Amino acid sequence: MKRKVIKQGHNTMTITLPSSWVKRFNLSGGSEVDVIEKDNGLFISTEKNGVHRRAEFDITGMDVPTIWKYFMCVYREGYDEVVVKFDPGLQLENPYKYFSRHRFDPRYKKGREKITVMEALHNFASRFIDFEIVEQGKNYVIIKEMGELTGKEFDNSLRRVFLLVQQMAEETLEAIKLNDPKIVMNMHDIDINLDKFQDYCIRILNRVGNKSSRKTSLIFTTLYILELIGDEFKTISHHMLFDPPKKTMKNLEYLAETVKKQFDLFYEWFYKFDIKKIFELAELDKEIYMKVGELYKKADEDEKEIFHHLRIIEKYINSLLELRIGMEF
C-alpha cells in the first residue's frame, strides 16, 4: 500500500497508518509504536512486534543434550513465554555434566549423578540471559523473558563475545608458554558465558532485526563461527588438562601466538574497517602456511592434537575475514 508523506512544521514529515491495522492492535492517539530502520525501508510495529509468542514442549523421555537443544531453539527464535511440561517423578543428569566443570567442582561429585527435574530446569533457564521461571506446578514450569531487547543490547553483547574469545586466546597462549594447564582450568566457564551472549545476540536479531537486513545473514554466520572458535579453545583446554603433553608445549607457542595476533587484529578491524589490517592478516596467514609443515614435524605426538585445533581456529578466522569484507558491500 502507498501513503503520501505529509509535511508538518519545518523539518517534520509524517504518514498515516492504515485504519485496519490501527483497529487490529487497538491503537489510539498517544499509543507508542516501534520504528525500525532497515536498508531503505522502515518497519513499524506495536510493542514487541505486536505478537506475544508462546512455545510449549514436554521433556519427558528426553536426554539432557536434547533438552538443551529445545531450550536453545525457543530462546534463539525469540519466544516471550515457554511452557515446559514433564513427568513429576522425572530425574535428570546435571545439565552441566557435559562440561569439564564436574571433573573439578565438588558440586558435581560422584553419588549425585541425578537431580530432580525442578533443579535441572532452574539450571537450564539460568543459562539464558533474561529467561526466568515465573511459575511452577506439579508437572510444568512457565519461563518468561524479563528484559527488553534492543539494538544497543545487541551491540554490547556482540562486543562481549569478541572479548571472551580474546580471553580464551590469551589464556591458551599463557598456558602453553608457561607449560601450566591449570591456567585454562576455567575455560569451560568462559565458553558457557560466550554461548550465553551468542544466543542472546541471535535472539535479538530474530526479534528486533538489524538495520541492514541484507547483512543479517552475514552477522548470523559470524556469530556461529565465533561460537565454533570458542568450542575449539575449550577442546584445547580439555587436552591440556586431561591428556597434557608429557614434556613441554614449546612447539605450540609460535602457532598459539600467531592465532592470538590474528584474532586481535580481526577484532580491531571488525569495528574499524582498514584495508591495511587485511594485508597484515594476510601476511600472518601466509607466514603460518609457509611454516606449518616444519612446525608440525617438530611437534611431539602428544602436542599434535592441540596443534590441529589451533589450525582449525586459524582457518575459522579466515572465514570471518570473508564475512566482514562482505558487510562492506
Q: What is the pLDDT of residues 75-89, one digit of tens each?
A: 999 999 999 999 999
Structure confidence at residue 329 (pLDDT): 83
State the Cα–Cα distance between residues 133 and 142, nearest whole angstrom. Answer: 6
Residue range(s) occupied by CATH 3.30.110 in the chain: 54-145
Burial pattern 70-89, b for ≥16 Cβ within 10 A else e, equals bbbebbbebbebbbbebeee
Q: How many residues does the chain have?
A: 329
CATH topology (fold) of 6-48: Pemi-like Protein 1; Chain: D (2.10.260)
CA gyration radius, the chain: 24
Residue 17 DSSP code: P
Q: All 3 cell numbers of residue 22?
A: 490501527
Residue range(s) occupied by CATH 1.20.58.220 in the chain: 151-326
Residue range(s) occupied by CATH 2.10.260 in the chain: 6-48
CATH number of 54-145: 3.30.110
CB contact at 8 A, 327 and 215: yes
Structure confidence at residue 244 (pLDDT): 80
**Residue 166 dihedral angles phi and psi, to the nearest 5°:** -60, -45
User: Residue 59, Cα to own-chain centre: how many angstroms?
Assistant: 24
Helix (H) or strand (E) holding 315: helix 304-326
Model pTM score:
0.80
Stretches where the chain sits below pLDDT 50 are 48-50, 100-102, 104, 106-107
Structure confidence at residue 48 (pLDDT): 47
Neighbours of 122 (CB within 10 A): 16
State the Cα–Cα distance between residues 300 and 250, nearest whole angstrom. Answer: 10
CB contact at 8 A, 55 and 64: no
State the Cα–Cα distance between residues 296 and 283, nearest whole angstrom. Answer: 20
CATH of 151-326, one of 2.130.10.10, 3.40.50.150, 3.30.1330.90, 1.20.58.220: 1.20.58.220
